[in-house]
A and B are shown apart, each in its own frame.
Chain A
């Protein structure tokens, strides 16, 4: 069994990555990802990781460099946040189209403007359609577990896709938490060596990233869609294997007191823990409240999400980003679309909250439930609002 330790989450993520025998990391510093970058470079500097650490001049080059190294057959890692992720944006669909199993931690942070260094999900949401596997973590333990698991999922022969792990910036990355760090032996047993599907090496010359016209483009997009959808099977298998080895189980959708709940709330990321406290308070008052936590954002777990929410009368979808001039939060529109064909479905409310690091205490979550319960005429259903905005 691994050691129980207390450590800052960002540092622990770098420690966990350090157990994964990476060959190459290219990282550009950005708050609040920088502690991951710094600690990884410490591990390389101390010879604890036998890897090339490339201090690129931008996030665009960070992603470019790991595309190159992954193409060469090297296990490759990067981490970024906010503007850095936006700067990488162009390259994300290229990495997935090339089926390069890069793993990337994202210390989620608000996107400018105005400049803001604190947490929300406006950086990852614009990357939704990039063809990456996208996972949201809730706490420190999950951050390190997923950092290790991501390599196994990404590099599985039936997957070969890049994975991003979303760790709420500051709210999670900079917390000191107790957790269990797997040992090197345990990780070695869990994570097989990377066997690439093709490599840039003269032993067998290949061309990667060839130019495709309309005669092939549709087929290539279809193949990419199928690859991402099919990855779910492997994701579930790998999570099950992890549960057997380490006793910590992960599912695409987790629920808390949801079975008999009349009103459900859906969260992603670190807010789940606070929301859970709100559920307990409401339950103590006799309100049948429950929580649904969405861990797997892509591939989207349609079946699991439907099963988790179908019996509720009302569902509060919380979003930490907005689609400006659109239907509301991106999670909201996704859930609505998932439920469109269901005969039995809850009324859905959408609160956009916790933007740019705004604190969301337990009372805000209970407040959302109270507001929804007070809407007896269902007038606010199917709408979105900015929670706590000063009018």
Chain B
């Protein structure tokens, strides 16, 4: 993304595109990733609730997946999942 010149800056540097931080993909920070075992998943959604990135989403069939563009691999979802349906595996 080309950086703006001073003439192109909005007045007062107001940012008028809500949620535009999503252009930045924090997934590159990750050293481990969550893997869901849908056989164990009870679709409670605790992984969705506790994700600091807000990147865990429910699919049409009710199971959950993390958007790997943003998942930083913190492991909260795996640690909080009481049916132990999520495992963290090393990236590599």
Query: Do A and B come into direct contact in the complex, CB within 8 Å?
Result: yes
CB-defined interface of A340-364 with B at 8 Å, one 1/0 digit per residue? 0000000000000000000000000
Distance (whole angstroms) from the CB of A132 to the closest CB of chain B = 14
- Cβ of A232 under 8 Å from chain B: no
- Cβ of B92 under 8 Å from chain A: no
Of A99, A205, A218, A219, which contacts B11 at CB under 8 A? Answer: A99
Q: How far is the CA of A134 from the CA of B16 in the complex (A)?
A: 30
Q: Find out whether the CB atom of B14 lies under 8 angstroms from the CB atom of A198.
A: yes
Residues on B with C-beta less than 8 A from A219 are 3-6, 9
Residues on B with C-beta less than 8 A from A215 are 3
Q: Find out whether the CB atom of B16 lies under 8 angstroms from the CB atom of A206.
A: yes
Q: How far is the CA of A353 from the CA of B4 in the complex (A)?
A: 47
Q: Find out whether the CB atom of A220 lies under 8 angstroms from the CB atom of B9.
A: yes
User: Which secondary structure dominates chain B's binding surface?
Assistant: loop
Q: How far is the CA of A226 from the CA of B9 in the complex (A)?
A: 12
Residues on A with C-beta less than 8 A from B16 are 198, 204, 206-207
Q: Find out whether the CB atom of B6 lies under 8 angstroms from the CB atom of A226.
A: yes
Of B3, B9, B12, B15, which contacts A197 at CB under 8 A? Answer: B12
Distance (whole angstroms) from the CB of A102 to the closest CB of chain B = 12
Residues on A with C-beta less than 8 A from B4 are 216, 219
- Cβ of A222 under 8 Å from chain B: yes
Q: How far is the CA of A98 from the CA of B12 in the complex (A)?
A: 4
Q: How far is the CA of A212 from the CA of B15 in the complex (A)?
A: 12
CB-defined interface of B50-72 with A at 8 Å, one 1/0 digit per residue? 00000000000000000000000
Residues on A with C-beta less than 8 A from B11 are 99, 160, 197-198
Distance (whole angstroms) from the CB of A204 to the closest CB of chain B = 7
Q: How far is the CA of A218 from the CA of B9 in the complex (A)?
A: 11
Q: How far is the CA of A220 from the CA of B3 in the complex (A)?
A: 12
Distance (whole angstroms) from the CB of A160 to the closest CB of chain B = 6
- Cβ of A210 under 8 Å from chain B: yes
CB-defined interface of A183-219 with B at 8 Å, one 1/0 digit per residue? 0000000000000011000001111111010011011
Q: Find out whether the CB atom of A198 lies under 8 angstroms from the CB atom of B5.
A: no
Q: Find out whether the CB atom of B14 lies under 8 angstroms from the CB atom of A207.
A: yes
Q: Find out whether the CB atom of A208 lies under 8 angstroms from the CB atom of B6.
A: no
CB-defined interface of B2-34 with A at 8 Å, one 1/0 digit per residue? 011111011111111010000000000000000
Q: How far is the CA of A226 from the CA of B11 in the complex (A)?
A: 12
Q: How far is the CA of A242 from the CA of B39 in the complex (A)?
A: 78
Q: How far is the CA of A198 from the CA of B7 in the complex (A)?
A: 18
Q: How far is the CA of A198 from the CA of B11 in the complex (A)?
A: 9
Of all chain B residues, which has the CB nearest A160?
A: B11
Residues on B with C-beta less than 8 A from A160 are 11-12
Q: Find out whether the CB atom of B13 lies under 8 angstroms from the CB atom of A98.
A: yes
- Cβ of A223 under 8 Å from chain B: yes
Of B3, B7, B14, which contacts A216 at CB under 8 A? Answer: B3
- Cβ of A100 under 8 Å from chain B: yes
Residues on A with C-beta less than 8 A from B13 are 97-98, 208-210, 212, 216, 220
Of all chain B residues, which has the CB nearest A226?
A: B6
Interface centre among B5, B11, B16 (most CB of A within 10 A): B11
Of all chain A residues, which has the CB nearest B8?
A: A219
Of all chain A residues, which has the CB nearest B20?
A: A207
Distance (whole angstroms) from the CB of B5 to the closest CB of chain A = 6
CB proximity to B under 8 Å, residues A206-259:
206-210, 212, 215-216, 218-220, 222-223, 226
Q: Find out whether the CB atom of B3 lies under 8 angstroms from the CB atom of A198.
A: no
Q: How far is the CA of A258 from the CA of B18 in the complex (A)?
A: 57
Distance (whole angstroms) from the CB of A198 to the closest CB of chain B = 4
Residues on B with C-beta less than 8 A from A206 are 14-16, 18
Q: Find out whether the CB atom of A205 lies under 8 angstroms from the CB atom of B9.
A: no
Distance (whole angstroms) from the CB of A81 to the closest CB of chain B = 27
Q: Find out whether the CB atom of B18 lies under 8 angstroms from the CB atom of A205.
A: yes
Q: How far is the CA of A127 from the CA of B66 in the complex (A)?
A: 50
Q: How far is the CA of A160 from the CA of B10 in the complex (A)?
A: 12
Binding site for A on B (CB under 8 A): 3-7, 9-16, 18
Binding site for B on A (CB under 8 A): 97-100, 160, 197-198, 204-210, 212, 215-216, 218-220, 222-223, 226
The 7 nearest A-B residue pairs measured at CB: A99-B12, A219-B6, A207-B15, A222-B6, A198-B14, A98-B12, A223-B6
Query: Could you name 6 residue pairs across A and B whose Cβ atoms are closer than 8 Å?
Result: A98-B14, A160-B12, A197-B14, A204-B16, A210-B13, A218-B6
